[in-house]
Amino acid sequence: MLGSFEPPPDNVLEEVDAVNILLNSTVSGLLTLAGIKADPLKSPEQLLVSSIVLYFWKRKQALNLESLIAAIINPPFQKLGVLPLETIYPSRKRMELAMSFNTILAGPGFSAWLKGEPLDIGKMLYSPEGRPRISIFSIAHLSQPERMFFVTTLLNRFLGWLRRQPGSSSLRCLLYMDEIAGYFPPTAAPPSKKPMLLLLRQARAYGAGIILSTQNPVDLDYKGLSNIGTWFIGRLQTRQDQDKVLDGLKSAGKPLDVPAMRKEMSGLPGRTFLLRSVHLDNHVVFKTRWVMSYLRGPLTLEDIRRLCKKSPVPPGKATDKSEKEAVFLKSPGSEPGSSHRPILSSRIRQFFLVPPVDAERFMLRPCLYAWANVRFVDSRRGIDITEHHSARLVLEGDRPVEWAGAGTVDVEVQDLSPSPPSNSIFYPLPQEITRLSSLAPYRQSWADFLYTTCRLELYRVKALKLETMAGESMEDFMARVSAVLASRKAESLKKLKRKYEKRYRALEDRLNRAEARLEKEKTDVTAKGVDTVVSFGVAILGALFGRKALSASSAYRTGRGIRSAGRMLKEKQDVERAREEVSRIQEQLSLLSQELEAESARISDKFAVENYPVEKFFIKPRRTDIIQPRCFLVWEAQPTLAE
């Protein structure tokens, strides 16, 4: 979390409003973490830290807490606006501010903020193979300032990730926050409020859904929530809660029967909710299903450790950084050195990297620092990217200069001092350096190293004719591939549904007619049965109570009864045939449904992300694309601590 504050993507930096919101919320979160209550508009602390962060962001440089403290003590600029820096925020107050941030570094729990998975939204949402993920962040164990800092940082990172995605009309991902009270209040302006408001306004354009929940309706800014299209409301007992929710519903723009809605909200039984959506003409009241819940309360840290045993938290970059910082606290012991600055050619420029600490003396270790910009151009693909590269190589003994084993630096030449600190001891230089008239050979070897090793790694899926765009990471590209496949799958399923819909409707019409015919045949059988019984009954009564011999009328009725019995048998056969026709059509419908399911499954398999392999390809720089290679001798000051 505190490893570094990455600069936002270029498209965000180009939008003044977006940068201001991102910058203010980031700095406000940092100041809140340090226990400083600052006015975003008037506070000199907010102004100074915002200017420092923006300074590094504009130069595409990541900023960590250590470099922020150093920049607060020695800012990379001399003015804030048109006034001198010392007038607005003198060095004494800057030191106090630096000490506040240093308290975070010195705290026993600080190391935890440097460990674990980096807060990379693309990796949190998608696996390296492009499969969707669910990431859960538990902040119950944090203090309120730490919670505010984390939520603000998470929202800013999520917003920055969204800005790098193409627009989408289908749902790409969900951000769900349980219990938003305190992070989106109606009157106050905590650091988390502005990025959340920006997400509510813009996230849907990128295919992101925002779900917010609370049991405290009073502590929400419902004017901000008017951007939400779907509301699920449980029983509200107090009039104050009802008024707040009704205000929010009214601000959504749809006509509202306030008295009826108030009555309905106050009378909802348990597990019953009111659904209000911009996609529905009227609200809907529905019940939830019974679920099994032990209601055991929030997870404890021990619970989380037990759940995460199978996937232990990786150390991240904290270990490397700790080792690097530990160099400044080592005592050089009895290693040889001189208090006199080595005599070198005037064409060899020397600088000094001095940490902001007090020490009795400094040991100065010689290093080669190198910087350059490498440009990658592919006009056919519309790619024109410039990467900034740096290198740090410690000069020890007669070891040859090999850039392949160099580390990187997070400072620029303008951040270095041209003069050494007082009471310094210089480590000896390699003989090769003392014989050079300039560092041109090293500068040339640095440029050659970049030319032969630098490659812009890109990715493509040939079957989809998709390639990575400028500045797009592997995770973002896989997310885009998944979105394209999901869109094509949805379109194919829609076409399939239209294709089968005609056959389905035709069978349904046949089934309706067959069922109607079956009912008619059943009715006819019933009527014929009654007629036959009546005919036979009348004939029998005539025979019993009339003349002893059958009269002509009785004979007629008897013959009619026999004929009716024959027709009734035929009607029963018609009923059986109608029933068989209904069964046959129902079976055809069942087979059609199975066929549709099989076709749908085939389409799902066809557009599965694992069926579309990702290939790597590279863009190489030209010789002329190695821009401004620079190489300087830098003495790193290592303070020797008092016994």
On whether the pTM is more than 0.85, the answer is no
617 pLDDT exceeds 50? yes
Helix (H, G, I), strand (E, B) or coil at 44: helix
The answer as to whether 39 is a domain residue is yes
DSSP-assigned letters across all residues of 382-402: TEEEEEEEEEEEE--TT----
- List the structure tokens of 162: 């969204």
439 and 550 fall within a common domain? no
pLDDT of residue 334: 36
Residues 501 and 565 in one domain: yes
* Token digits of residue 474: 């592997």
Contact assessment for residue 181 and residue 214, using Cβ atoms and an 8 Å cutoff: yes
| % of the chain surpassing 70 pLDDT | 85
What's the CA gap between 559 and 540, in Å, rounded? 12
Q: Cα–Cα distance between 470 and 476 in angstroms, integer?
A: 11
DSSP string covering 323-369: HHHHGGG---TT---BSSPPP--TTS-EEEE--S---SEEEEEEEEE
The domain that holds 565 is classified in CATH as 1.10.287
pLDDT of 553 above 60? no
Q: What is the pLDDT of residue 562?
A: 54
Same structural domain for residues 90 and 20?
A: yes
Q: Are residues 405 and 490 in the same domain?
A: no
What 3-state DSSP class applies to 615? strand
Could you give the CA distance from residue 22 to residue 1 in angstroms, rounded to a whole number? Answer: 16
Average pLDDT over residues 445-464: 92
Query: Looking at residues 244-250, what average pLDDT do you find?
Result: 82
Q: Which domain holds residue 384?
A: 345-455+623-640
d(CA 8, CA 156): 9
Comparing 309-313, 389-393, 598-602, which segment has the lowest mean pLDDT? 309-313
Judge if 301 and 405 occupy the same domain: no
Answer for the pair 73, 95: CB distance below 8 angstroms, yes or no. yes
Q: HSE, CB side, 13 Å, CA atoms: give it for residue 555.
A: 6
93 & 57 share domain? yes
140 and 115 share a domain? yes
Q: How many domains does the chain have?
A: 3
Triad 556, 562, 563: Cα angle to 5°: 90
How many alpha carbons fall within 13 Å on the CB side of residue 284?
12
Whether 634 and 589 share a structural domain? no
Nearest to 596 by CA among 499, 482, 516, 525: 499
CA distances from 184 to 149, 195, 466 (A): 14, 10, 39
Are 73 and 118 part of one and the same domain?
Answer: yes
What does the pLDDT read at residue 534? 47
- Which segments within 55-142 are labelled E, that is strand? 79-80, 83-84
